[in-house]
Structure 1
């Protein structure tokens, strides 16, 4: 429970403590990014402006801290889940209420472990490409002033054929490449998770096949986790395919993001 609380409380605090003079925090992150983004686009440079550099650094630290806490939480939950399910399988002499409590606790811990896994993966992705992660904070609906002009110019550039002959602004090239890196990171992470899930599935189903039919409780637990790992691996494989395709051609996906369709 302490780690779950830390997952939401600690990252903003530690990320803010590393920012210059505390100029960027969770409260003004969106506003600071939009202002810095307009400044960066107007500069015509490839390198981030000082304001955008501060925002990106803050967001990078935020994701790193959250990914580390989520990883620790995942390890703790996996260990706790193993203990709970083993206790459930050995609970022959306990009453129905105790067995139900152990089973419910095991299910809850398993769901929390999946949540921790997804959180860790998403934050590793954000740490790999923090600038692309920040792009979701750009308004896709009504915008005014310089921000509306900037987004309109980016949309026009993205809508133009990539081989039109006009040289793309350096900032747009950075956006496209970082957006591709963002999705490539998730493709790699998801591929690793898929391999682990497939391996778990094979081990679980082999144990299921070797377990005597009279041991119904063990077979139910092994079969449930085997089915969960199979379904989860299929979902993760879809994530791999989608993110790989997006990384290979990130320009349409970036355009869809700015149009509010991603």
Structure 2
């Protein structure tokens, strides 16, 4: 009498009808940790790298206002010690945020690819579960786009921290820049560069403001070209695909990335124009319209 020994197989990765649950859970947890770090880490890390933090936002603005007034009164290109410390801190602050946002973007892209593949393999799932996968993919895409925007904005702040810091400059109120100083800055910016001799601080502000927008123009151009390339690949694969679900996903992807490329191209063009002539936009800020 013979007996048959049942064979056993090693358990594979945790899956639910083709959805890699374990990998998706790990990526989601990593994304949550990076999002938390994006909010909490920049201040302490930048403070440790620059020799000390600058307290709350109100305290930072107060020091910025006083340091900026000293800088204007000195009339020199180089920053006084107080303003130099703030600018260095702000550059490191945005560097930490840019790196964290970049890592978050990479994790979200990996999670999005995972969900997309799971959706394309989801023939055995119920309509409700397929809808849940699609919703999760849309949410991850939205978060990835937000992370991309944060990368771009914080690269700006890293490369041109003075202009980024000026956006926090209080122009009114008891701790704001004195009215006489503001009037002089506005007068010089309105005449820049043909209205006579501009002071060194104005030249530095205009130059840095141009750099600030040049960074965004370049970043937006790279994103627009990348989105256009993704759209083109999606449409090429759409033409070759035969599966209905795959074609639907590729069609949506092609349309989405084409619209994304057009929208970001507008940002690139607008910032290129400001880079070519930054003084009017800077004047608009000091007049309260930026």
Partner residue, 1:257:
285
Alignment of 1:103-182 (within 5 A): 103-141=134-172, 147-160=178-191, 162-165=193-196, 167-182=197-212
* 1:138 to partner: Cα distance: 2.2
After superposition, the Cα gap between the structure-2 partners of 1:6 and 1:70, relative to the gap in structure 1 and judged at 3 Å, is same
Residue of structure 2 aligned with 1:242, choices 270, 275, 282: 270
* 1:25 to partner: Cα distance: 3.6
Partner residue, 2:219:
189
More helix by share: 1
After superposition, the Cα gap between the structure-2 partners of 1:12 and 1:18, relative to the gap in structure 1 and judged at 3 Å, is same
1:149-205 Cα offsets, whole Å, 9 max, x none, are: 22221011112252233x111011000000000000100111111111111011001
Higher Rg of the two aligned structures: 2
Aligned length: 258
TM-score by length of 1: 0.94
* 1:225 to partner: Cα distance: 1.3
Which structure 1 segments of 5+ residues have no match?
Answer: none
Partner residue, 1:228:
256
Alignment of 1:75-90 (within 5 A): 75-90=106-121
* 1:219 to partner: Cα distance: 1.4
Partner residue, 2:39:
8
Partner residue, 2:236:
206
Please, what is the CA RMSD of the aligned residues? 1.5
Which structure 2 segments of 5+ residues have no match?
Answer: 1-31
TM-score by length of 2: 0.85
Q: Which moved more, 1:68-77 or 1:132-141?
A: 132-141
Task: Say if 1:16 and 1:25, in contact at 8 Å, map to a contact too.
Answer: no
Q: Where in structure 1 do 4 or more consecutive aligned residues deviate above 3 Å? A: 139-146
